[in-house]
Structure 1
Amino acid sequence: MDEDLALFYEDSSDQLQYMENALLDIIQSGITKESIGELFRAMHTIKGIAGMFGFDEIVHFTHKAESLLDNIRQDKIAFTDEIQELFLQVKDHTSKIIEQSVNEDGLDEQSISEQESLISIMDLVMSKSGVAQSVDEKEERVSLDFNELVSLENHDMWHVSIRFADDFFTSGMDILSIFNYFNKLGYITFNTPIVSNIPSLEDLDSLKTYIGFELEFQSSASKEDIEEIFEFVENDVVLFIFKSTDEKAYDELFNTYEGLEEILLGFGIYAKEDLEEDKVTQKIEKPIQATLKVPKMVKKEIAKSLRVDSAKIDFLINKMSEVVIANAKIETLVSQSDDSELIESVDELKLLLEDVRDNIMGIRMVPVEESFIKLRRIVNDTAKKLSKEVEFIIEGGETELDKTVIEKISDPLVHMLRNSVDHGIEMPDVRKKRGKSGDGRIVLRAFTDAGMIVIEIEDDGAGINKEIVLKKAIEKGLISAEDNLSDKEINNLIFEPGFSTASEISDISGRGVGMDVVKSNIESLRGSIEVNSTELKGSCITIRLPLTLAIIDGFLVQAGDTKYIIPLEMIRECIELTPGMRETMKENSYITIRGQVLPILDIKEHFREKCYPNLRENIVIVQFANEIAGLKVDELYGEIQAVIKPLGDIFSKLKGLSGGTILGSGEIALIFDIVNLIENKIERG
């Protein structure tokens, strides 16, 4: 796919997402003028861009949808539930034919059949409402018969002056559509193009818009109605709209555009008794060549952005990772030097590199809202299929996460949301019997906590039936009947491999199907997942993920012969282990700090490190969510930037590690998975 087609595909995908969002807003909050405007704008923009590439099938289809939406905008057709469902199908079909067109495959037979069917439905809707027009009427009306002229006798005559921004065409708009809208409101009795701004052939830019128009328009429409023609391009045009009898408005127009008065006089559109005779003669001889001073376009301030291939960003991040490693080596060498200027320069370089690193990493950070919004359709379609009413709420959409992570959690989120609708939310009649609203509620929220992003999927459904979960787990051999499990452990049985099968979907009223795969995918991202549930009240699935997969700020420690890195944002404090603390830990592996009892995990013992006589040991207190624990280590070295490298399959069974890194000395340091370490310690007591 060449660059232009790729840009068309991306822009069209964005427009279709806006369209889907507007449709789902209508479902949830009811129809508004703005939501219909979003639908119309999406179809209109795609039609315009597709026309530039010669995708006639797309143009034909979107034009039909645009016509139906235009009638809905004018209140000629009611926007019913059936039409809402029709436009969801229109959106899906448009997406399909765009993909087939840009891949140069052309429309397949199924798509052609679907398109014909959808067009027939749209035609039927318009014909039943008495608004369908012939092709000739919809595309162009170029003449008026005597009866039509008589009917215009009491209509107002308007003068409309139009100048377009340079990038009008590249924004996907087309001038023909604007004139078609004029013809729907009334009749253009005069129209002349203003072409004096067209440069010489050598300076001509085919993507720029140089032409303008002066036209007389007869209609019963108000000024506001005429302005609505330009609703979607208001930032790309300079307009003057006034009644043809308004002398002051003409004066303002002529003061804006030098030479325009002579042009209109030449065509007999405007007459003024005190104009000099030679001026009239001049404008008759050269009506179009007058020089116009076009006012500078004033457009709304928008964010400046640049589309960049993600592969280029990945390359940049990889190179930044190498720079971090190289800088660590330099710092190691400099630490052995007594040259104060060299040390100062390296410290300054470190600060600059950290700033560059943070900005580069920030390129890949995107708001989760873009991904979350796409899930609205999943919830809507699943609920509709099951005849359930579900309110879907997104919270914390502005929270940012690495784009790679977002892409990898998309499928797990889809799976969990479908489960929430299918097995969590009850049928409306069941909910009402339980004293609940007939409409179920699912909340998808995101927020940051201790250097991680937390994603929660919460519903007010049936919750997990723990008795059934235990029974199924015993049948599967996952636990024995003698095991005494906590509520949390029972809930998390749904993540066990083999616990859920397709035949058991209807037997477990909370979750289950494929959740082992979901957990595996989350853990592959160095994340964690757990579920909390109250029967008949609802469930909440909590996912914790690192903000980025590439470079972290860490704290370097040593236990035994191995160096480890602790993510800096999870560290609360470091304390030296006192003799009194040692005595306490010998008995129960807990210590009390400022009145708070903390579990302590001995890193050397956990990873079976060699133990050497050491007069000094330290406790690093770490926290995630509401869980706090201490890690017992030997040495504390300080803060460090670490490039995270995967450990490989050989370490997949080793819990508590999320990766490794290369230190400036060339040594390998292992990076702690703090969430796993704390959970492991709490479970083992």
Structure 2
Amino acid sequence: MSALDPSEIFRQEAQELLEQLEQALLDLEHTPDDADLINSAFRALHTVKGSGAMFGYDAVAAFTHHVETAFDLVRKGSVEPSRALIAVALAAKDHMRLLIETPDLAEAADGVAILQTLKQIVGDPSAPTAPDDAALQDTADADAAAEIPTTWRIRFRLGREAMAMGTNPLLLLDELRGLGMATVVARAESVPPLEELAPTDCHLAWDVVLTTSRPRTAIEEVFMCVIDDMELSIDAITMTGEGNRIGEILVDRGDVAQHAVDAAVAAQMPLGTLLVKSGDVSPDTLASALAEQQHVRAGAGLGAGAASGAKAPAKGADSIRVPAERLDELMDRVGELVIVQSRLSQVAASSNDVEVKAIAEEIERLAHELRDTTMGVRTVPIGSLFGRFRRLVHDLAHELGKRIELVTVGEETELDKTVIERLNDPLIHLIRNAIDHGLETPEGRKSAGKPAAGCITLTACHAGAEVMVSISDDGRGLDRARIQARAEDQDLIPAGAKLSDAELFQLIFQPGFSTAKEVTSLSGRGVGMDVVKRAIEGLRGKIDIASTPGEGTRLTLRLPLTLAIIDGLLVRVGTGRYALPLSAVEECVELSPEEDARSRGRSFLNIRGDLVPFLRLRELFQVSEPPDRYQKAVIVSFGGRRVGLVVDQVIGNHQTVIKSLSKLHADVETFAGATILGDGAVALILDIANLVKLGMAYEGRFKAAS
């Protein structure tokens, strides 16, 4: 697969910048006085404009220039970040995305209308009503002026409370390094003794020598958010033909007076040593000057590479973009490697060769590390998915005249990238339904004694071997009577059928089912919820619904670990071997023949004073072979509940490569998949969620009988 072309790289980076812009605008609507959000929006616009001009997206650069100008006025306090301005900025962001996706769309009526609205809000008579070439010419002139690289001396000291207020100086240094070839020296002369050191205070100062073809304004923008509470100097360095001497550098920087340098030279001693010994400069200051001297001498040899904006050759890229297909191929290869490694371990276990066993152990360790690394590469925080829905909620709330707050919990929960992509459409359907059907209008909420603003909460968390993603609202809840009446009308259930809430609510996932009284632009045709269910089942997941009239509804998506490889516990029942996800296993206890006989008819274990229901897998799987004398009970948990699984033997840990079952076995809920063992045999993977549910049913019957 060929590498990405520059235009594709621009489109991907612009996508990320536009997402950052959207999040900043949505946050700004709630906190219009937040200067950090204003600066974040301005930086995103500025970067899109500059990159667009660089990669030939002239229409994008020209259009974005006007929006950037408006937010520059906001940044300077000349214009208020009103709701109207944020609304037109969101529309402008959508238009920028359209221009990037369809570069041939040089002129569009939507773009002209957006700029006219922007002009009315900002009140700038010089703002044009349509994109023109003036902004592009300005950008081209700036780029032409910046072709010759310049070396800058940047010295800065943050405010003492900067880190306590959330500023990370390392990020500032990384941004400077991103502009060109940078040499960074930290000055610690102001650091107090350890007993007086406050861990939240910033005591360091930094000297940076930067060679870049970017203009001075690019350097100033790095410090845009902290400029009001720091010491900063940015000076161009004039280089002589042979490079500046250390004395000239110290005098030019203002670190030492010329007469002190002259006195040191007259003493015919090493200049730096004498100046430090005399106390005219500190060791940190001398180290900074020496670093500047070396940087300038190295920069003299950059030649044409520096003129084209090349960075330090020794510094590699911090990250690279890899097509997802390559990661899929890598995961498949790792899965096959794990199977072969398992076979090797079995061969080594039956061998008396110590060297073979040592090699097998080393390969097992390397395969385990490679597996974890590959999985980590494919996983991303679910917050990247949750963030997309803020705009959806914002727009639908305005369209329906409702006030809605979106709350997200567990954004750091990681999922496979493919799973997150396939979750996008189902979650959109569920959120739209919650907004349209679940949440009342502000007037209806007030009459029900609720706050005028409704709340939708997205939650994600790991629960044993599953990932739980829930969508809840504090609206009117599901109407049980209407659902039952509609189901009876459609002959989905017999008239007067007695169903539990869980069984009745599942009917809303039937194709064509809808309780809406009228068809709207959002819903009412009975299409969507059945699509959601099929999509979740395609991920081998399930949907649970809980609803309380007048209080709200909660839909929980239970997604199994769909990664190709998991740690498993291999057990034997009769002659068959089965795998359990190790993350769901709490402990293993022995089930003696006496305790097995006592528990007949009750199926409960006493685990340190707690009664835990258990299932005899021999009975569940109808095994005809006689049981082992000393059976084992594997205690597993799911969703805060525990159940014991009685097996004949616990074989041990096993790296399990998950293989999906065929469509013929789709309705077999006891198994979540299969795996191939080292000897080539197939072992079924037990579905912990369904087994725990079955165990809870035993417990419920026991409590009812007692």
TM-score (norm 1): 0.74
The whole-number CA distance in structure 1 between the counterparts of 2:619 and 2:488 is: 33
The whole-number CA distance in structure 1 between the counterparts of 2:649 and 2:519 is: 51
The whole-number CA distance in structure 2 between the counterparts of 1:522 and 1:650 is: 18
Kindly indicate whether the alpha-carbon contact (under 8 Å) linking 1:169 and 1:209 is maintained by their aligned counterparts in 2: no
Q: Secondary structure at the match of 1:231?
A: coil
* Cα-to-partner distance string for 1:530-555 (whole Å, 9 max, x where unaligned): 12222111222222323442100001
Q: Which runs of structure 2 are paired with 1:267-416 in the superposition (5 Å)? A: 293=296, 304-416=318-430
The whole-number CA distance in structure 2 between the counterparts of 1:418 and 1:400 is: 24
Q: Secondary structure at the match of 1:397?
A: coil
* Cα-to-partner distance string for 1:523-576 (whole Å, 9 max, x where unaligned): 332333212222111222222323442100001112244321100011122233
Q: 1:133 to 1:323 in 2, by over 3 A?
A: closer
Q: Secondary structure at the match of 1:462?
A: coil
Residue 167 (structure 1) shift? 11
Kindly indicate whether the alpha-carbon contact (under 8 Å) linking 1:46 and 1:172 is maintained by their aligned counterparts in 2: no
Q: Which of 111, 114, 122 pairs up with 1:115?
A: 111
The whole-number CA distance in structure 2 between the counterparts of 1:228 and 1:321 is: 47
Q: Is 1:623–2:637 an aligned residue pair?
A: yes
Kindly indicate whether the alpha-carbon contact (under 8 Å) linking 1:584 and 1:591 is maintained by their aligned counterparts in 2: no
The whole-number CA distance in structure 2 between the counterparts of 1:419 and 1:167 is: 44
Q: 1:511 to 1:327 in 2, by over 3 A?
A: farther
Q: Which of 75, 78, 81 pairs up with 2:80?
A: 78
Matched residue, 1:61: 63
Residue 49 (structure 1) shift? 0.7
Kindly indicate whether the alpha-carbon contact (under 8 Å) linking 1:584 and 1:590 is maintained by their aligned counterparts in 2: no
Q: Which runs of structure 2 are paired with 1:131-530 in the superposition (5 Å)? A: 132=127, 163=152, 209-210=212-213, 231=224, 239-240=234-235, 255-256=252-253, 293=296, 304-480=318-494, 483-496=497-510, 499-500=513-514, 514-530=528-544
The whole-number CA distance in structure 1 between the counterparts of 2:543 and 2:500 is: 17
Q: 1:345 to 1:292 in 2, by over 3 A?
A: closer
Q: Which of 51, 54, 73 pairs up with 1:52?
A: 54
Q: Which runs of structure 2 are paired with 1:528-567 in the superposition (5 Å)? A: 528-567=542-581
Residue 443 (structure 1) shift? 1.5
The whole-number CA distance in structure 2 between the counterparts of 1:386 and 1:620 is: 52
The whole-number CA distance in structure 2 between the counterparts of 1:254 and 1:68 is: 43
Q: 1:167 to 1:375 in 2, by over 3 A?
A: closer
Q: Which runs of structure 2 are paired with 1:88-107 in the superposition (5 Å)? A: 88-101=90-103, 106-107=104-105
Residue 81 (structure 1) shift? 1.8
Kindly indicate whether the alpha-carbon contact (under 8 Å) linking 1:162 and 1:212 is maintained by their aligned counterparts in 2: no
Matched residue, 1:143: none
Kindly indicate whether the alpha-carbon contact (under 8 Å) linking 2:628 and 2:648 is maintained by their aligned counterparts in 1: yes
Matched residue, 1:573: 587
Q: Secondary structure at the match of 1:115?
A: helix
Matched residue, 1:248: none
Unpaired segments ≥5 residues, structure 1: 141-160, 174-196, 199-207, 216-225, 242-250, 262-290
The whole-number CA distance in structure 2 between the counterparts of 1:466 and 1:311 is: 45
Q: Once the two structures are aligned, what percentage of the paired residues are identical? A: 36
The whole-number CA distance in structure 2 between the counterparts of 1:434 and 1:654 is: 45
The one-letter code matched in structure 2 to 1:650 is L
Kindly indicate whether the alpha-carbon contact (under 8 Å) linking 1:599 and 1:682 is maintained by their aligned counterparts in 2: yes
The one-letter code matched in structure 2 to 1:255 is D
Residue 8 (structure 1) shift? 0.5
Matched residue, 2:202: none
Q: Secondary structure at the match of 1:431?
A: helix
The one-letter code matched in structure 2 to 1:641 is Q
Kindly indicate whether the alpha-carbon contact (under 8 Å) linking 1:462 and 1:510 is maintained by their aligned counterparts in 2: no
Q: Secondary structure at the match of 2:387?
A: helix
Kindly indicate whether the alpha-carbon contact (under 8 Å) linking 1:555 and 1:566 is maintained by their aligned counterparts in 2: yes
Q: Secondary structure at the match of 2:445?
A: helix
* Cα-to-partner distance string for 1:410-452 (whole Å, 9 max, x where unaligned): 1111111112211121111111111111011112122222243
Q: Which runs of structure 2 are paired with 1:596-607 in the superposition (5 Å)? A: 596-607=610-621
129-138 or 329-338: which moved more? 129-138
Unpaired segments ≥5 residues, structure 2: 139-149, 155-172, 181-208, 237-247, 259-293, 300-310, 702-706
The one-letter code matched in structure 2 to 1:317 is M
Kindly indicate whether the alpha-carbon contact (under 8 Å) linking 2:514 and 2:524 is maintained by their aligned counterparts in 1: no
The whole-number CA distance in structure 2 between the counterparts of 1:673 and 1:631 is: 12
* Cα-to-partner distance string for 1:351-389 (whole Å, 9 max, x where unaligned): 232122112211112111111111111111111111110
The whole-number CA distance in structure 2 between the counterparts of 1:13 and 1:616 is: 61
Residue 334 (structure 1) shift? 1.4
Residue 339 (structure 1) shift? 2.7
Number of aligned residue pairs: give it.
572
The one-letter code matched in structure 2 to 1:582 is D
Residue 621 (structure 1) shift? 1.8
The one-letter code matched in structure 2 to 1:99 is E
Q: Secondary structure at the match of 1:677?
A: helix
Kindly indicate whether the alpha-carbon contact (under 8 Å) linking 1:240 and 1:253 is maintained by their aligned counterparts in 2: no
The one-letter code matched in structure 1 to 2:21 is M
Matched residue, 2:163: none
Please give the root-mean-square deviation of Cα atoms over the aligned residues, in Å.
Answer: 4.2
The whole-number CA distance in structure 1 between the counterparts of 2:37 and 2:4 is: 33
Kindly indicate whether the alpha-carbon contact (under 8 Å) linking 2:151 and 2:212 is maintained by their aligned counterparts in 1: no
Kindly indicate whether the alpha-carbon contact (under 8 Å) linking 2:115 and 2:128 is maintained by their aligned counterparts in 1: no
The whole-number CA distance in structure 1 between the counterparts of 2:94 and 2:434 is: 24
The one-letter code matched in structure 1 to 2:100 is I
The whole-number CA distance in structure 1 between the counterparts of 2:676 and 2:215 is: 64
Q: Secondary structure at the match of 1:407?
A: helix
Kindly indicate whether the alpha-carbon contact (under 8 Å) linking 1:420 and 1:511 is maintained by their aligned counterparts in 2: no
The whole-number CA distance in structure 1 between the counterparts of 2:233 and 2:298 is: 8
The whole-number CA distance in structure 1 between the counterparts of 2:636 and 2:85 is: 55
